[in-house]
Amino acid sequence: MNQIFGEFDDALQPNQEYLILGFSPSAKSIRQRWRNNGLSANFLADYMVTFFPADERDPKTLNRRTEMQDAVRYIANELLENAMKFHDEAARQPITIKLQLHPDCLVFWVTNSVKSEAIAPFQRFIQDILAAQPLERYLQQLEQNALNDEHTASGIGLLTMMVDYRAIVGWKFTQLEQTPPVMTVTTRVQVPI
């Protein structure tokens, strides 16, 4: 059974330019490795920027390249942090991030397992984000964060993607057919280039 929230188009044509990183469960907890997210995000950004040639004499190409590199770095880091923070380690499922380059957009796909008790609150949170205008919701969340220092799942990273990078986001929840049952969520983020 799949549940879709937001704009989740997995029918986007396959392409030749993509990179997939996987983080498998091991003796060392995935959550203990989450501080390495920055390294993974930098790797993805450095890889993808090779497809955006820059001419040293043309500031526009240099700026575009830097903007794309910064966007990939920020979005990949946020998606990996969220995936590792909310991952169900008992499920023994890997976390994967895939970055695809298309002629007019970059698409990120991050898949992780989710604890059953976290699914309903997460889906309510998603519906809340999708129901509001991104900038309006972003400003509300900044106010809430300023008033509550202990709020750890604010969604400000997702909202920043939507506001600053014009990201189109979607989620697909999938029940894996195994015993015990495992629920995975794939977060899809599409950014225009």
Instruction: Let me know: does 4 contact 10? Beta carbons within 8 Å.
Output: no
Mean pLDDT across the chain, nearest whole number? 88
pLDDT for res 30: 62
**pLDDT higher than threshold 90 for residue 1:** no
- Tell me what the mean pLDDT of segment 33-48 comes to: 88
- Give the E-state strand segments of the chain in sequence order: 2-6, 18-23, 95-101, 105-114, 168-176, 182-192
Whole-prediction pTM: 0.90
Q: Please report the sign of the dihedral spanned by the C-alpha atoms of residue 183, residue 7, residue 158, residue 104.
A: positive
**pLDDT higher than threshold 60 for residue 70:** yes
Q: Which of 191, 179, 29 is nearest to 109 (CA)?
A: 191
Residue with tokens 């008033």: 147
d(CA 147, CA 44): 35
pLDDT for res 77: 96
Give 33 or 189, the one with higher predicted confidence. Answer: 189
For residue 31, name the pLDDT band (cuts at 50, 70, 90).
low
pLDDT for res 37: 86
pLDDT for res 150: 67
For residue 29, name the pLDDT band (cuts at 50, 70, 90).
low
Q: Please report the sign of the dihedral spanned by the C-alpha atoms of residue 182, residue 128, residue 3, residue 164.
A: negative
Q: Where are the domains of the chain?
A: 2-192
pLDDT over 90 percentage in the chain: 55
Give 5 or 90, the one with higher predicted confidence. Answer: 5
Give 41 or 54, the one with higher predicted confidence. Answer: 41
* Maximum average pLDDT range among 25-34, 107-116, 131-140, 177-186: 107-116
* Weakest mean pLDDT among 70-74, 88-92, 107-111: 88-92
pLDDT for res 148: 79
d(CA 113, CA 130): 22
- Tell me what the mean pLDDT of segment 87-102 comes to: 91
Rounded (5°) CA angle 161-183-169: 20
- Tell me what the mean pLDDT of segment 87-97 comes to: 89
pLDDT for res 32: 66
- Please check whether the domain covering 2-192 is classified as CATH 3.30.565.10: yes
